[in-house]
Amino acid sequence: MKNYQGIPGSEGIAVGKALVYLNDPFTLPSEKINSNEVPKELQRFMAAVEDVRTILKENTDRITKEIGAEEAEIFEAHLSVLDDPEVVDNAAALIKEQLLPAPTAMWQTAQDIANEFAQIGDDYLSARSADILDVSELVVRELTGEKRVSLARLNEPCILVGKDITPSETASMDKKNVLAMVCEMGSRTSHAVILSRSLGIPAVVGVTGLCEAVRNGMVMIVDGAEGKIVLEPDEETLAIAQKSQTEDTAQKQLLKNAAKKPAITLDGSRVMVEGNIGYPADTDMVLENGGDGIGLFRSEFFYMDSNDFPTEELQYQGYRQAVEKMGDKQVIVRTMDIGGDKKLPYFEMEPELNPFLGYRALRICLDRSDVFKPQLRALLRASAHGNLAIMLPMVSCIEEIEASKRLLEECKEELRQEGKPFREDIPLGIMIEIPSIALQARDAAKLVNFFSIGTNDLLQYSLAADRMNQKVARLYNPFHPGVLRLIAQVIYDAHAEGIPVGMCGEMAGDVLSVPLLLGLGLDHFSMSATAIPKIKNLICGLKSEECRQLATQVLAQPTGKQAEGVVKAWLSTRGHI
Ligand code: PEP
Ligand code: MG
């Protein structure tokens, strides 16, 4: 028996036999072609591109039918690789100018782009370079005839183990026979992992050294929530895993069914439990999991998926789609939050020593009304079709709220002149993620309709602990008394001014934090769609008055460890953990 620890990808426990999925490397011709062969080679190249386009279109259709439009967007991204002049034209140029055979030209182009992106070290660009390599490999294999081993028909249920399983492989695989997926590479946000979550297939990524140890047919246990793998378990471990697998499946289904009902505490308080999304189509998952609305629509994904700033019209269509899908449930769209770790390939930003403290989000928007106004106009226009609210990220001072409100008024006036409908009293809120504005919550609350606490950033700014840096992860503690008192004050001040407060940082979806936040009076909890059923279920078992007492006790603790200890003991005596 051997244990491995990876990164949790998609929740769920699977027990089964391994199928090691390692594709043979393809071979690239090294000889150059003759100049008179160029037209034929170009023709062959374009034909292969078209064949791959057909395969990708089939994948898109299949995924749209089997899972949904949102997941199919990954293949739209793949298709766009074939439309990207930097990819196809550059490869064609290498055939024409350097007389490289088509497969070699294609692969060299893909690698050049991937290397360039890798040097920038940005999450979005590394996902894009994975797409480019994935699609280019399909073209190369089409040209060399060394097709990939197919996962489309598997003889028996198995746990797929590979170095990396690409989105196209995930899409084309025989899903009913895949019990779980385990990869040596990847992160929680890699496309294949996103797909596995949507398919409900447990997944663990980043399991170093696994491929060397595992052989076809070996029995293994995969725990997607914990990121744990057990290879060749002993009988006792196997029996325990099989039991938790059965319980896990039954429990998830029960929670999902129960989540269709509103979250009401035992003493009758209704609590709003909402979803965080990045794309309009993500609304499906939120509704399926019983979400009461969208507490955070991270609009910057629109900007990241484009070759240029998205037009007002494109954004309008996207926001409209989201609000129409949600019916009368509220959709809070956060305006562009670019900068920090999120870069745009088409918007050059000067290198900064401290990007998280630099030129980002609202700071860019207030500087560039040519970028901000199209988004505000698109949001206003979409507000005519549903329950939409606008939220400003990274607010640090009152002047930023005032300047944003002036721009919003300008956009409203333009739309009135143009006769375009919008909701006059569209709610405007701000994210509380910078300590300076948290400490001025009372002043800010007079200017807006709601707050949403962004703990992901609020923690890093309050504790001076980079949210991406593993080395300071132990300092990044949501139970730090300083952070808790800041949150308590924000909720108190907002309520004193008569506005509601939500939370859309990771803390809102954490079982340990929910009773405490409820006790502090938080009105809305927003989280990833899959966390909604669990949190709704927890809320239904709590009493508001008891949560208030808990909050008073926790706030009096001098250390994060003690505060967390009080919460854990409280939850444990009530059987919630
Ligand atoms: C936050 O900072 O808590 C938040 C929700 O925003 P993001 O994670 O997108 O920075
Ligand atoms: Mg943030």
User: Is 298 a pocket residue for ligand 1 (Cβ < 6 Å)?
Assistant: yes
Distances in whole angstroms, Cα of residue 24 to Cα of each of 19, 146, 149, 162: 15, 9, 8, 12
Q: Which atom of ligand 1 is nearest to the CA of 393?
A: 6
User: Is 454 a pocket residue for ligand 1 (Cβ < 6 Å)?
Assistant: yes
Q: Which atom of ligand 1 is nearest to the CA of 507?
A: 3
Q: Closest Cα to atom 4, ligand 1: which residue? A: 454
Sign of CA dihedral 517, 518, 524, 530: positive
78 vs 195: CA distance, rounded Å? 14
User: Is 151 a pocket residue for ligand 1 (Cβ < 6 Å)?
Assistant: no
292 vs 274: CA distance, rounded Å? 5
Q: Closest Cα to atom 9, ligand 1: which residue? A: 298
Q: Closest Cα to atom 6, ligand 1: which residue? A: 454
Q: Which atom of ligand 1 is nearest to the CA of 506?
A: 3
Closest ligand relative to 502 C-alpha: 1
Q: Are strands 428-432 and 388-392 parallel, antiparallel or unpaired?
A: parallel
Provide the residue type at 163 as one letter: K
Q: Which atom of ligand 1 is nearest to the CA of 300?
A: 9
Q: Long-range contacts of range 303-312, CB-CB < 8 Å, 24 or more positions apart?
A: 303/336, 303/338, 303/344, 304/124, 304/342, 304/344, 305/77, 306/346, 307/345, 307/346, 308/346, 309/346, 309/347, 309/371, 309/374, 310/374, 311/374, 312/374, 312/375, 312/377, 312/378, 312/381
User: What does pTM read for this prediction?
Assistant: 0.69
The predicted pLDDT at position 401 comes to 98
The predicted pLDDT at position 167 comes to 64
CB atoms within 10 A of CB 8: 19
Distances in whole angstroms, Cα of residue 192 to Cα of each of 67, 195, 326: 13, 5, 27
CA–centroid distance, 315 to ligand 2, in Å, is: 21
Q: Which atom of ligand 1 is nearest to the CA of 456?
A: 3
Ligand 1 pocket test: which of 299, 303, 337 has the largest number of ligand atoms within 8 Å of its C-beta? 337
User: Is 433 a pocket residue for ligand 1 (Cβ < 6 Å)?
Assistant: yes
**Count of CA atoms in the C-beta half-sphere (13 A) of 261:** 11
- pLDDT (tens, 9 = 90+) of the chain, 577 residues, equals 999 999 888 888 999 999 988 766 788 888 899 999 999 999 999 999 998 898 888 878 877 776 677 777 777 788 888 888 888 999 999 999 999 999 999 999 999 888 888 777 676 777 778 888 888 988 998 888 876 667 877 888 999 998 877 766 776 788 889 999 999 887 665 667 766 776 778 999 888 888 889 988 999 999 998 999 999 999 999 999 999 889 988 888 889 888 999 999 999 999 999 999 888 888 988 999 999 999 999 898 778 767 789 999 999 999 999 999 999 999 999 999 988 777 787 888 888 989 899 999 999 999 999 999 999 999 999 999 999 999 999 999 999 999 999 999 999 999 999 999 999 999 999 999 999 999 999 999 999 999 999 998 999 999 999 886 767 878 989 999 999 999 999 999 999 999 999 999 989 988 999 999 999 999 999 988 888 999 999 999 999 999 999 999 999 999 999 999 999 999 999 999 8
CA–centroid distance, 505 to ligand 1, in Å, is: 5
User: Is 505 a pocket residue for ligand 1 (Cβ < 6 Å)?
Assistant: yes
User: Is 504 a pocket residue for ligand 1 (Cβ < 6 Å)?
Assistant: yes
CA–centroid distance, 187 to ligand 1, in Å, is: 18
User: Is 455 a pocket residue for ligand 1 (Cβ < 6 Å)?
Assistant: yes
Residues involved in catalysis: 191, 504
Q: Which residues surround ligand 2, an ion (CB under 5 A)?
A: 433, 454, 457
Burial of 262 (0-12, 13-18, 19+ CB in 10 A): middle
Q: Which atom of ligand 1 is nearest to the CA of 337?
A: 9
CA–centroid distance, 332 to ligand 1, in Å, is: 13
Distances in whole angstroms, Cα of residue 548 to Cα of each of 326, 458, 510, 516, 574: 32, 23, 18, 7, 15
The predicted pLDDT at position 25 comes to 73
CA–centroid distance, 405 to ligand 1, in Å, is: 22
CA–centroid distance, 169 to ligand 2, in Å, is: 33
User: Is 457 a pocket residue for ligand 1 (Cβ < 6 Å)?
Assistant: yes
Q: Closest Cα to atom 7, ligand 1: which residue? A: 456
CA–centroid distance, 393 to ligand 2, in Å, is: 7
Ligand 1 pocket test: which of 298, 458, 486 has the largest number of ligand atoms within 8 Å of its C-beta? 298
The predicted pLDDT at position 191 comes to 61
473 vs 176: CA distance, rounded Å? 38
Closest ligand relative to 336 C-alpha: 1
Q: Which atom of ligand 1 is nearest to the CA of 276?
A: 5
CA–centroid distance, 403 to ligand 2, in Å, is: 20
CA–centroid distance, 126 to ligand 1, in Å, is: 21
Question: 3-state DSSP call for residue 466?
Answer: coil
Q: Closest Cα to atom 3, ligand 1: which residue? A: 454
Taking the CA atoms of residue 248, residue 249, residue 255 and residue 257 in that order, the dihedral angle to the nearest 10 degrees is: -170
318 vs 352: CA distance, rounded Å? 32
